[in-house]
């Protein structure tokens, strides 16, 4: 894109010198070399031409500069965007430098990338100097185009992201209501209109309700997932001992833990800066998985340890469950991805939600596992903010 743009609008030399022999010579020499130029008569013309998108350089004769005109040029150059550093070529008097002219030249040189050309003017020197300045300007234009493309891409991304968030939130929120209706009316149908002896109809109704429940679970988890970014209340907001989030999670799963004789051992935990409710949800998901994916007949064991690495705390959550092949260690964090049979309850969203929460804390969550041995989930949380 940038190359096409430059071909369509080649940077032009903006020339300002009292129109006369030198001005004509410069303009003709550049024209012959195939370089576009704009001959200016007044400083106002120079200012206007400098503001043009395709301005390539300023070619200024020393005698055209006075303290006032330098001020005007300085004002317009100081408003250049960050990518722009308009090259300046100054034609000097040709050996008759006075203190005043030196002062003017020094002021001009301070304005940016400038170069002095001695008169009498030789076409070949002028063209070479202009070409080199224009090619440096063309690189600046490339950077400008690149910055613009990047900004546009960022805008598109932000828009798509916010659309997606709103969509996920609205879809999961609004779809749950009709689902509740289906559930209620199926129950009414069962209670009032379907004879208890009609086994086929009873069975179909049970299928409907199972489907509805499953859909409701999926929507509930999808809603939790989109809320993590949407809802201010999910952001890190406090410093606390991480063991508190772990005990919150254990309390929420108390019945499950007792029924399955799960034993969870927790070593000393660091103080972290985070959202206690959200981090406890991460542990809840991990513990619940350790219980769900435990080996048949083997009581689940979960061990949690913490260590300090460069700028982060590493928390390891290890279980003695069925494990999985290491090649699936990334896939399990994707939305709706499950390795297990469908008869194990779940939506395939627990780990996606957990990773999103951890990432919102500036941390990382990943897994290591071996089938038949067990899994370790690793949670890295920044220690600098703790």
Of the candidate residues 92, 290, 318, 320, the single one contacting ligand ADP (CB under 6 A): 290
Is residue 262 a contact point for ligand ADP (CB under 6 A)?
no
Length of the chain (residues): 386
C-alpha span between 134 and 137 (Å, rounded): 5
Name the residue nearer to ligand ADP (CB basis): 108 or 367: 367
- Per CB under 6 A, the segment of 189-197, 259-267, 269-277, 285-293 that binds ligand ADP is 285-293
Is the separation of the CB atoms in 43 and 70 below 8 Å? no
Name the residue nearer to ligand ADP (CB basis): 90 or 351: 351
Name the residue nearer to ligand ADP (CB basis): 16 or 377: 377
Of the candidate residues 10, 93, 270, 346, the single one contacting ligand ADP (CB under 6 A): 346
Name the residue nearer to ligand ADP (CB basis): 69 or 347: 347
Is residue 322 a contact point for ligand ADP (CB under 6 A)?
yes
Minimum Å gap between C-beta 346 and ligand ADP is 2
Is residue 338 a contact point for ligand ADP (CB under 6 A)?
yes
C-alpha span between 283 and 361 (Å, rounded): 14
Name the residue nearer to ligand ADP (CB basis): 123 or 260: 260
Name the residue nearer to ligand ADP (CB basis): 39 or 282: 282
* 162 DSSP 8-state letter: H
Residue that has been written with the tokens 């070399």 in this structure: 33
Contacts of 355 (CB under 8 A, 6+ apart): 333, 365
Is residue 339 a contact point for ligand ADP (CB under 6 A)?
yes
C-alpha span between 214 and 217 (Å, rounded): 5
Is residue 300 a contact point for ligand ADP (CB under 6 A)?
no
- Per CB under 6 A, the segment of 1-9, 157-165, 247-255, 333-341 that binds ligand ADP is 333-341
Site for ligand ADP in 348-377 (CB under 6 A): 348-352, 375
Query: Is residue 371 helix, strand or coil?
Result: coil
Minimum Å gap between C-beta 252 and ligand ADP is 15
Is the separation of the CB atoms in 240 and 269 below 8 Å? no
Minimum Å gap between C-beta 250 and ligand ADP is 16
Name the residue nearer to ligand ADP (CB basis): 18 or 211: 211
Minimum Å gap between C-beta 336 and ligand ADP is 8
DSSP string, 60-119: EEGGG--HHHHHHHHHHHHT--TT----EEEEE-SS---HHHHHHHHHHHTTSSEEEEES
Is residue 280 a contact point for ligand ADP (CB under 6 A)?
no
C-alpha separations of 313 from 56, 203, 250, 267, 367 in Å: 53, 52, 21, 13, 16
- Dihedral over Cα of 128, 129, 130, 135: its sign: positive
Minimum Å gap between C-beta 167 and ligand ADP is 21
C-alpha span between 386 and 35 (Å, rounded): 61
- Per CB under 6 A, the segment of 85-93, 118-126, 143-151, 340-348 that binds ligand ADP is 340-348
Is residue 287 a contact point for ligand ADP (CB under 6 A)?
no
Is residue 92 a contact point for ligand ADP (CB under 6 A)?
no
Which two three-digit tokens encode residue 294? 């435990």
C-alpha span between 111 and 373 (Å, rounded): 70
- Interface residues with ligand ADP (CB under 6 A)? 285, 289-290, 293, 319, 321-324, 332, 337-340, 346-352, 375
């Amino acid at each position: 894109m940038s190359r096409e743009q430059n071909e369509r609008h080649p940077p032009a030399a903006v020339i300002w010198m009292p129109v006369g022999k030198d001005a004509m010579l410069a303009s003709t020499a550049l024209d012959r070399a195939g370089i576009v130029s704009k001959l200016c008569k007044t400083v106002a013309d120079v200012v206007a031409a400098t503001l043009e998108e395709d301005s390539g350089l300023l070619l200024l004769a020393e005698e055209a500069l006075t303290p006032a005109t330098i001020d005007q040029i300085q004002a317009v150059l100081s408003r250049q965007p960050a990518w722009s550093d308009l090259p300046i070529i100054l034609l000097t008097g040709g050996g008759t430098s006075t203190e005043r002219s030196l002062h003017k030249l020094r002021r001009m040189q301070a304005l940016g990338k400038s170069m002095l050309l001695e008169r009498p003017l030789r076409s070949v020197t002028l063209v070479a100097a202009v070409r080199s300045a224009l090619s440096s300007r063309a690189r600046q234009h490339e950077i400008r185009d690149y910055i613009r493309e990047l900004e546009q891409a960022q805008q598109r991304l932000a828009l798509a992201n916010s659309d997606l968030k709103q969509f996920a939130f609205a879809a999961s929120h609004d779809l749950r209501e009709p689902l509740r209706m289906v559930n209620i009316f199926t129950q009414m149908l069962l209670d009032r209109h379907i004879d208890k002896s009609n086994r086929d109809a009873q069975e179909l109704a049970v299928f409907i309700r199972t489907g509805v429940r499953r859909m409701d679970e999926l929507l509930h988890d999808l809603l939790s997932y989109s809320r993590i970014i949407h809802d201010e209340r999910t952001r890190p907001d406090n410093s606390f001992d991480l063991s508190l989030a772990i005990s919150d999670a254990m309390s929420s799963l108390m019945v499950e833990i007792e029924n399955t004789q799960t034993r969870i051992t927790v070593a000393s935990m660091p103080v972290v800066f985070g959202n206690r409710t959200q981090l406890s949800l991460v542990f809840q998901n991990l513990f619940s998985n350790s219980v769900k994916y435990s080996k048949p007949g083997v009581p689940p064991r979960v061990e949690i340890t913490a260590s300090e690495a460069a700028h982060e705390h590493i928390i390891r959550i290890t279980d003695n469950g069925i494990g999985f092949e290491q090649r699936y260690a990334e896939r399990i964090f994707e939305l709706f991805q499950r390795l297990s049979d469908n008869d194990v309850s779940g939506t395939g969203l627990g780990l996606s939600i957990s990773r999103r929460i951890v990432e919102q804390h500036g941390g990382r969550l990943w897994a290591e596992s071996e089938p038949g041995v067990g899994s370790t989930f690793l949670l890295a949380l920044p220690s600098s903010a703790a």
